Chains A and B, each alone.
Chain A
Amino acid sequence: MQGTLTLDRPSDELVGAARAGDGAAFAELLQPEYRAAYGLAHSLLHNASDAEDAVQEAAFKAWRKLGNLRQGAPLRPWFLAIVANQCRTHRRRKAWPGQTEERPAEPVTAPPDITAALDLKRAVARLPYDQQLILHLRFSLDLPFEEIALTLGITPKAARTRVERSVQRLRPILSPKEQTG
């Protein structure tokens, strides 16, 4: 499982310090989750700058709301939920008419099959936002259904069902030879 906390200080102590206003403690708390959060934001917003902004804004929201994180509750799904909401807000802002969806060229680390990757990106982008989100949580971040459920505030069974439905929507656009599922 990804994202296991590896901290110099015990997480409870960090949470306490962060709640008391210690920014360094909160940064340390977020560090193990940053890559996943950035990856999720980038997948949903398709833009490095937007993704970085969204995660930053989400981080400050999370800090302000840290008091709501139950003791012992995992940080990652809670934080990813805030990131996902921030991305939704960002996309809505971007969707105003006349506001072009700029996707400036970014340095790309070429995957083994760049065309397949582009095709998948396009296919996923055709799905509604919530289906994109749950597919990224499952297949990009490798979250188990239990953690997806915590992130989305639904039951693990509902998480599994929604993943399967989203995959069904995705399959017609994928290669027939890969429709094994």
Chain B
Amino acid sequence: MEDQVLFTRFHAAFDVEPPPGAFANLGAALVQQPVRAPRRAWFRFELRPEVRRVVAAVALIAIIAAAVGAFLAISHYVHRNVPIHVPKVTATATCSQGFRMYSATEGWQGSESHTSDGGLSWQINVPTVANQSKGFAECTVDALHAWTAMAVGSPPTAATGMVVLETADGGTTWQQRGSVPASGFYPGAELEFINDQVGWFLVDSAGASRKLYVTVDGGYHWSDVGAAGLDNVARGCSESGMIFVSSDRGWLTWDCTNGPKSGTGSPGGAVVAVTSNGGHSWTPVPLTGMPSDLICSAHAPLFTGTAGVMPMVCTSNAQPAWAGVYRTDDAGLTWTLGVPPFQLADLYEVSFADASDGFALAGSQGLYGLYKTTNSGQTWTVVKKAVFVSQDIPQLQFVDTNVGFAATSSSQGGLWQTTDGGLTWGLPGHRVIAGNIGCPAPSTPGSGAAPLPVLMASATTGWAVGALHTTDSGLHWSSPRIPSPPDQSAGYAEYFLDADHAWVVEAAGSARACADHVVVFSTADGGATWQQMGSVAVPGATLGDVIWGQQPSSASPFSERGGAPSLSFVDPLHGWMEVMVCGQTFMDCPISELLYRTGDGGATWSLLVNETAGSGPCSLPTGIVFSSVTTGWGPLGGCGSSGGPIAVTHDGGLTWTPQPLDVGSCCDGGPLFIDAVNGVVLGSTTSSGAADDLLTTSDGGVTWTMQSVPALGIDPTNESYTLDDFGFSSPSEGWMLYTIWGPTQVTYRLYHTADGGKTWKRINEPIPPQPGSETNFPTPNFYFLDANLGFISSGTDLFRTTDGGRTWTRLSVTVN
């Protein structure tokens, strides 16, 4: 019997109303962009009234199109369409869209993202045009050359044309080339180039005939080919690919998802059409053996000389249901179906390096085998029975018979690489565990940026993020010499108790899990020496899971204060560690949350709470701080909506109780306890979630008193603000740092209170750092030891004040 709870829970979790006006927008777009009507009425000589209306509408559209065309022709007279003589050439390249590597190191994702290091890093350059509308096409022909076409129109829901842009330097710079007319809300478009000069551009505008344009000068000028029969080949279907192998011979493929199949009237099927005269006329290609009742999509054919292959994948909406590879030996005049030996229903991805050699990923989601053919798909052999275990959405591409690339859900932003034809795969820059799962790289807090002071124990001695230590007031910082545990993974936390005592926790894994235990290090001599303390196995971490020492989203900008929120010590012996087990993506986090306690400085840890996401009462807060051996605090986020926004424990972390506060939500950066009894917390009573309320306690959190926050005096219609950092050095002395977003500039403001938050004064002198441009500026963080001595870090520079922020000195910092 079905569980009715599931209905309730799904509705509670997923019910969502469309944004106001969403359907109105769609309706307006539909009304603006009529889809081409069937044409059978044109056979009548005497037009019926409704047909006359259609004729009138078409005429009107034609007039509008002509007007638009005239406008475009005038405005782009340099790029006017003229009859073009297409030179007789054979393709030196074929166009690709999506993820495409052209060598072991260079390639593209689409035309906007380019790599020169095998996918380890990607440079993203998105070209833009004025009045950009919906509609897009792209084409890359080699490691450097790419074209992209964008629909333009005003309003943006109504395209009036498509503008072509070209890059010849791997996307670093884009130049606008020619344009062609287009109409519709989302005109279909396909670009194909066979070298850096000759290309075709198919535009499928709603309410107008398909048009095929050709260029022989790299996209500056486009001429209407005058394609005949193009409209009748796959009416109602979406083009899925276009390839030319010479200036004469080319193929077009259409995805006829639920669409008609030309000549038969039956639904479904892919349609392939061929031209032998540069696109002037098109005829359907007969393909035997293809099911007619499924949704089929043909890959663009791939040729080596006269031999070619064309993979075909059909689905039943839910999953691949049929697949095959068609091959030709006569340059595409006739095609023969080859059948892979694996379960056709499981074919997921096919990539041919040339017309003979291809690879296929076949299997259900989570378990794929890699297969290989050397005869255009007539026979297949197993390369590897299981690759990319438990991963989703693999993408596969082979540059040649040895070098291949794949993208999966554990690619960590990179690309899997093989140099031995798929036998072994590596993920550059990342550790790989069983099942070809890529693990996140270890955290490197504090590296590559100006030190961010966390705790200054005196005017000269203190700690910064990354367990950096200074003894000369922040001029020189020493990096910790902490040995990396074997199989170190992402996940890091640190806590600084005083000038001498600090702890660092690093996550580590095994051959089976990216992270399944944490290793604790501590120092009692100001970082001069570090000792490995406990190694704690984390239950519940499974294949591919990772461990976060703190929230991966870094939601709180104040997480560094008093140490990372997942680690808290009240003296050299007593501490707590909160571990969050997450899957590979943000949506998979957390799987479970665990709270440990130590009474011997971190040598041994006992598990206090193991809360599997969704299983418990949601009582364990995230980001705990302890004010004594027995009492601790932490924000519950949405968990405590019924009982209070924060939770408190009075038994050392065993049990947690929600505590009401006079704020709707909290707690950015806290609660912060200045000592055992005095603490502050920021919360919000507004729906915006802005930290607009400050509460203080002087009795260890038994009672909280609402204080004030600085009055910014901004114009809410033109300005907004964000709170970047706040902190108290004593129960009375506190600071708040804001970024003010004005209509033309961004500024920082520092406010100070000397009476525990009752009143605030702006420190009027300009504070370093100052913002750069509006799109590139640092988020500053500060630390005040007392009413006078403080630091501000911009991320690139460290500044110090000795007069409460009125003047600042930039420090010439060294880190080693």
Contact = CB atoms under 8 A, between A and B. Distances in A.
A156 to B, nearest CB: 14
A31 interface: yes
A27 B31 contact: yes
Given A96-B98, A135-B10, A176-B615, A23 B31 contact: yes
B3 A180 contact: yes
B32 A23 contact: yes
Nearest to B555: A105
B12 A113 contact: yes
Contacts of A72: none
B618 A82 contact: no
Contacts of B16: 38-39, 42-43, 48, 109
B305 interface: no
B207 A55 contact: no
Contacts of B42: none
Given A114-B638, A136-B14, A152 B588 contact: no
B1 A21 contact: no
B50 interface: yes
A52 to B, nearest CB: 5
Given A21-B35, A24-B31, A153 B12 contact: no
B10 A34 contact: no
B34 A68 contact: no
A110 B614 contact: no
B7 interface: yes
B13 interface: yes
B236 A67 contact: yes
Interface residues of B, number: 87
Nearest to B34: A21
A34 B68 CA distance: 33
Interface stretch (B244-252, B409-417, B478-486): B409-417
A98 B413 contact: yes
Interface string A112-136: 1111111111111110111001111
A89 to B, nearest CB: 10
B199 interface: no
A25 to B, nearest CB: 9
Contacts of A113: 12
23 contacts: A20-B54, A23-B34, A24-B30, A27-B27, A31-B27, A56-B185, A65-B260, A85-B295, A91-B393, A95-B393, A97-B109, A97-B411, A98-B119, A101-B586, A117-B13, A119-B614, A121-B13, A123-B614, A126-B588, A128-B392, A139-B11, A140-B14, A180-B5
A59 B23 CA distance: 11
Interface in A1-50: 19-24, 26-27, 30-31, 34-35, 38-39, 42-43, 46, 48
Interface in A73-103: 78, 81-82, 84-85, 91-92, 95-101, 103
Given A111-B12, A181-B3, A35 B17 contact: yes
B27 A96 contact: no
Given A39-B14, A122-B613, A154-B318, A61 B124 contact: no
Contacts of A38: 16, 18, 22
A174 B585 CA distance: 19
B12 A46 contact: no
B376 interface: no
Contacts of A91: 393
B589 interface: yes
B423 interface: no
Contacts of A22: 34
A173 B589 CA distance: 12
A146 interface: no
A114 B9 CA distance: 10
A60 B295 CA distance: 18
B259 interface: yes
Interface string A166-181: 0100000111101011
B704 interface: no
A136 B10 contact: yes
Nearest to B238: A61
Given A31-B23, A123-B613, 6 more contacts: A68-B267, A95-B407, A97-B109, A115-B637, A116-B12, A174-B615
Contacts of B206: 60, 64
Contact of B638 (A21, A66, A110, A162): A110
Interface in A136-154: 136, 139-140, 142, 151-154
A96 B99 contact: yes
B630 interface: no
Contacts of A34: 18, 22-23, 26
A57 B381 CA distance: 40
B641 A110 contact: yes
Contacts of A81: 258, 317
B130 interface: no
A97 B23 contact: no
A115 B393 contact: no
B33 interface: yes
B99 A116 contact: no
B318 A167 contact: no
B13 A116 contact: yes
B614 A174 contact: yes
Given A95-B395, A178-B3, A140 B36 contact: no
A38 B618 CA distance: 30
Contacts of A154: 316, 318
Contact of A130 (B27, B57, B119, B365): B365
A173 B613 contact: yes
Contact of B26 (A55, A64, A67, A142): A55
B614 A120 contact: yes
B26 A30 contact: yes
A119 B613 contact: yes
B589 A64 contact: no
A153 B33 contact: no
Given A57-B186, A97-B411, A140-B15, A68 B260 contact: yes
Given A27-B30, A60-B206, A97-B413, A129 B35 contact: no
A112 B15 CA distance: 12
Interface string B248-265: 000000000111100000
A65 B13 contact: no
A35 B1 contact: no
Which are the 3 A-B pairs with shortest beta-carbon distances?
A: A119-B614, A139-B10, A117-B13
A26 B29 CA distance: 11
Nearest to B319: A130
